[in-house]
Structure 1
């Protein structure tokens, strides 16, 4: 998927293991009645779980480098063709609607319940940083700005958000740079997909992540943030004097004495998963011109959408005569929308294994009607961080089950420094009893009404 017809495929450009890529694959499979049993290879770092920290860090950096693009390849990326590669994942049929926007596991579950495709508003890239270091954010900025310049030269309709976050990426933050490429207008491939594949008058839903973070943006199409909301830390925790930062850098092989972050220009910009205003406006213009209702869901935190979607699934299952009393708590890449609906489960998706996200599901469970069974799939992040939830906190989530309380041992083994492929979720959920037939798809209006009611207390804005 490269300019000029070069052989750089879309699957090579979009970062392996990135949220958008995993959610796209899971949604496509669920809509055709398949599970995620083929997603994720054997984790190459598993054999290093018990190795000394320097050995494990070196292995992680090598693994990240093998999958990353070279700086020369960045100039070959064609974001429009990447959009086409994404859209081409879906079968050539008419759909009763579409979901677009930020990468969120609940978005995949929502799309499957509606029986519609999900299209991301951005994609992530990982690019080699041969002389990188986790404790040199200024050097990361310089390298990333040069890469962004090459990308923007051939793709003026995107914005490149660079994220330097050793708390969530560990040693790989010193071997590669992470670039979130966000479309600033509706890609032509998406517009053609919607025009060709939507039923007349089919509704479209845009999901947006409203989290903010300090951002350096000089208005050249490239912006930079140190840290991320997904790290489970606060912006102040990335200050050179912060104790949490010293712990993070020590674990990632860095030195806090070298940490000199650049001054930020905007303390209130949307974080890396925010949807560009131009993309939203382009979608609004297209839907208005072609007679498709456009709705929008704005999530202040991922927990709000996860909780509202779980409540929606419970309503959907019970309306079809099922109990809706069996819960699966997914995490990160550990999800399987098809196995969820095949077994008649209620899904709650944790963005990651940080204490904040796990506390979110605990609070939701505490205020919900009890579940007879709770299965928990904690994704090990592969790094150490003071923000991570310990296994006792995950066990506390499972303890909400009245009769069955299960924490997946395969995911817990080697936690938090091991890695587990997506297919682990499939292997676990295949053991759940069948609860067929699958309920008929939800209508968009009905789903939005339930999301509005369930999410109002958590600040979920549905329009």
Structure 2
């Protein structure tokens, strides 16, 4: 990692650490060996380990003989295996930054999608500056994110972890707080099976239709087949490409623009506990905190 940073970054570059503080109970198997039962999604760790009424109902509906899983005993807590950040990396990042004269900025948040309201408002802010529309929202889920098409179509992206209830509620909260969008499209990742806490395609279509002042619904997904619509993984890009509008790509965003946006919208953009801090390194960079 250090060699990559030294060889690939421009002089005076800024390194962003995305510090997702999410943790999960684990079983310690040995030195640097952890086993995590379950993961971030529609259920919390307590349900994975101790069970719940809705888990029992779900297992019954799927024809299972059991009503809860026999989870292994846990004896520690670690960064969540897929989304968490291990702070052991920070020391090496700060060392190479000090050696090469880079700036290190740390974005701290509890879950990955908690950054999405701020990112969406940053896109909206930049679009307005470049004369692009600011009234179209593209909700993207899990790994079906398409930054190129968001920019090419002039739509504001809103990234969600999954198609589960917590993500649905996070989107609802954002749409209740922000200025209305004329059009809202929701692209759904199909995980191939029905799971606890999963939100139906009808509900996703409904939230888009309810909050859009013009049109709203799903895009690139067969609602009747969801969440077993595995073809949606191949269908969502052509669905975006089929939309008629095209705009020139705006220039890449700069760190100075980010700082200007944070200063302009400090009391406007939904903060949701996101913190952006400039870290002090041996090279003498001053420490600064920007609550986003």
Q: TM-score, normalised by structure 2?
A: 0.84
| TM-fit CA distance, 1:205 | 0.8
Indicate the SS of the match to 1:256. coil
| C-alpha distance after superposition, 1:319-339 (max 9, x if no partner) | 111121111111123221111
Aligned mate of 1:461, from 275, 278, 283: 275
Distance 1:262 1:283, change over 3 A: same
> Residue 290 of structure 1 is aligned with which of 100, 112, 116?
100
For 1:332 and 1:362, how far apart are their aligned partners in 2?
A: 17
The equivalent position to 2:46 in structure 1, one of 236, 245, 261, is: 236
Match of 1:269 in 2: 78
Give the match's secondary structure for 1:458: coil
**Residues 376 and 407 in structure 1, CA contact (< 8 A), matched pair in contact too:** yes
How far apart are residue 253 of structure 1 and its match?
6.8
Aligned pairs, how many?
272
1:258 is displaced (CA, Å) by 8.0
Structure 2 Cα separation of the partners of residues 286 and 456 of structure 1: 33
d(CA) in 1 for partners of 2:235, 2:259: 31
Name the CA distance, whole Å, in 1 between partners of 2:68 and 2:220: 39
Query: Residues 273-352 of structure 1 correspond to what in structure 2 (within 5 A)?
Result: 273-352=83-162
Question: Within 1, Cα distance between the matches of 2:67 and 2:179?
Answer: 50
Q: Partner of 2:221: helix, strand, or coil?
A: helix
Distance 1:275 1:451, change over 3 A: farther
Q: 1:258 to 1:329 in 2, by over 3 A?
A: closer
SS at match of 2:138: strand
The aligned runs of 1:64-463 (5 Å cut-off) are 190-230=1-41, 232-249=42-59, 254-256=64-66, 259-266=69-76, 268-272=77-81, 273-399=83-209, 400-408=211-219, 410-448=221-259, 450=261, 453=266, 457-463=271-277
Give the direction of change, closer, same or farther, for the CA distance of 1:341–1:384 in structure 2 (3 Å limit): same
Instruction: Name the CA shift for 1:310/1:411 in 2 (closer, same or farther; >3 Å).
Output: farther
Counterpart CA distance in 2 for 1:300 and 1:258 is 28
Residue ranges of structure 2 left out of the alignment (5+ in a row)? 278-292
Shift of 1:282: 0.9
Q: Give the Cα separation in 2 of the matches to 1:310 and 1:214.
A: 32
Post-superposition Cα deviations, 1:242-288, rounded to whole Å, max 9, x if no partner, equal: 2333345456775426832222112x432112122221221111111
Partner of 1:101: none
Q: Deviations over 1:129-156 (max 9, x none)?
A: xxxxxxxxxxxxxxxxxxxxxxxxxxxx
Give distance in 2, aligned partners of 1:280 and 1:352.
28
> Aligned-residue CA RMSD in angstroms?
2.4
Looking at structure 2, the residues matched to 302 and 344 of structure 1 have their Cα atoms a distance apart, in angstroms, of: 23
| Residue of structure 2 in register with 1:163 after alignment | none
Deviations 1:114-170 (A, max 9, x none): xxxxxxxxxxxxxxxxxxxxxxxxxxxxxxxxxxxxxxxxxxxxxxxxxxxxxxxxx
- Secondary structure of the residue aligned to 1:306 is helix
Residue 210 of structure 1, CA deviation: 1.4
Higher helix fraction: Structure 1 or Structure 2? 1
Shift of 1:310: 0.8
Task: Tell me if structure 2 keeps the 8 A contact 1:336–1:425.
Answer: no
Structure 1: how far apart are the matches of 2:231 and 2:69? 31
Aligned CA distance change for structure 1 residues 291 and 433 (closer, same or farther; 3 Å): same
Query: Cα 1:254–1:284, aligned 2, differ >3 Å: closer, same or farther?
Result: farther
| Change beyond 3 A, Cα 1:220–1:417 | same
Question: 2:287 matched to which residue of 1?
Answer: none
